Amino acid sequence: MSDRSSADILDRRRFLGGAGLAGASVALGAMPSVAGETAKPDPLITEVQDWSRYLGDGVDKRPYGSPSKFEKNVVRRDVPWLTASAESSVNFTPLHELDGIITPSGLCFERHHSGIAEINPADHRLMINGLVDKPLVFTMEDIKRMPRVNRIHFLECAANSGMEWRGAQLNGCQFTHGMIHNVLYTGVPLRVLLEEAGLKPSAKWLMLEGADAAGMNRSLPIKKAMDDVVLAFAMNGEALRPEQGYPLRAVIPGWEGNLWVKWLRRIEAGDQPWQTREETSKYTDLLADGRSRKHTFVMDAKSVVTNPSPQAPLRQKGRNVLSGVAWSGRGTVKRVDVSLDGGRNWQTARIDGPVLDKSMVRFYVDFDWNGQELMIQSRAMDSTGYVQPSKEELRKVRGVNSIYHNNGIQTWLVRSGGETENVEIG
């Protein structure tokens, strides 16, 4: 095995003298393609196009804005056979279509237990009760008058990659890893509201409850609540989308997504966890010997190459950019390594953009591709020294009974024609 910088991979002189320059010459339409012949002029350059000929739409045609019609395939997608009901199901963020670290609000994956609750913010109330000195009820106007903060964090469903425990199943980065998004949240630290209510000394846990038809609820240790939990009313500069918990949701940085209760209506303080359905029959990790891991709240370090991937195959030989995302629920991502040969050799990827606590990072490797088969992998290392494990290492500890907390290394096989598949190395 060897380690080297991604900067070594791209031979720029070879690129300029090879396939990349040849492609550029054809586009210019100025170089002969065959001796004695001249390439035809490119009409996209030599002829005036309609978008340059006619007036476009006025400023109020799209008052809230929308993506270009040429991006209509960049959407969340579900797996129809995965669940019995769309109201208690999930769809997936198109990670292979995104860049940078911020997920557009309209592309954040959805996971509901009883469909989307449509709530008029004027009618919404948040109650704090239980082991507190002063039970309180807040309106949304009350909450928005409190000191607010802005935080960028990833939200990952505990079941992200859950179908892959027993082997490669779903042929798309969107479906294997798309239950995650990374968003700028605006809201009020939960600590502020709890201090106003006054926690009794015996209070050790909170129960967060949603206003949806499921009354989705989860137990949260007070230590975490007082540390960095935010009650958010905005994401990416706009009000929360209804599917993301409008008008109020919990933000639990670095912890599994089902704790981030949406449409939050009540917080009860108690002296022990509530043992709700979601933390007993669901969201526990069944081990090979039949015992279960419980309260597995933290999402460990994980990464995935988004391009190339099965929905984003390599299309051109020569110069290419490998891109991916990494995250850790325990701190910051310190390094991401990438292998092009199934883990025999690793190189350090280039992380570009903000590196924030419990937030995604974006990584790149610039490389030349001559059509050879590739076995692409990535592994993340976080600020605690934790290294993302292989799937085989994970199975030795956890078995294959669980569907949660699969953070094993993903492998993409790139074939000679650029087609890319989800595979595992035995």
Helices marked H in 129-283: 140-144, 173-177, 190-197, 222-227
Residue 197 has pLDDT above 80, yes or no: yes
pLDDT in tens, 383-423: 999 999 999 999 999 999 989 999 999 999 999 999 999 99
- pTM for the model: 0.90
In this predicted model, what pLDDT tens digit does every residue of 223-236 receive, in sequence order?
999 999 999 999 99
Angstrom CA distances, 238 to 97, 228, 380, stand at: 22, 21, 31
Per-residue confidence at 341, pLDDT binned at 50, 70, 90?
very high
pLDDT of the residue at 330: 97
Residue type (1 letter), 256 = E
10 Å CB burial of residue 38 (0-12, 13-18, 19+) is exposed
Q: Length of the chain, please?
A: 426
Question: What does the mean pLDDT of the chain come to?
Answer: 91
- The pLDDT value given to residue 36: 60
Longest dimension (CA), the chain: 91
Tens digits of per-residue pLDDT, 264-322?
999 999 999 999 888 888 888 899 998 988 899 999 999 999 999 999 999 999 999 99
Tell me the CA distances in angstroms from 368 to 249, 251, 310, one per residue in order: 45, 41, 19
Q: Mean pLDDT throughout 102-131?
A: 97
Q: What is the pLDDT of residue 21?
A: 39
Residue 4 has pLDDT above 50, yes or no: no
pLDDT at 251 over 80: yes
**CA 309 to CA 410: how far, in whole Å?**
10
Residues 6+ apart with CB under 8 A from 177: 95, 160, 161, 304, 410
Task: Kindly tell me if the per-residue pLDDT of 94 is higher than 60.
Answer: yes
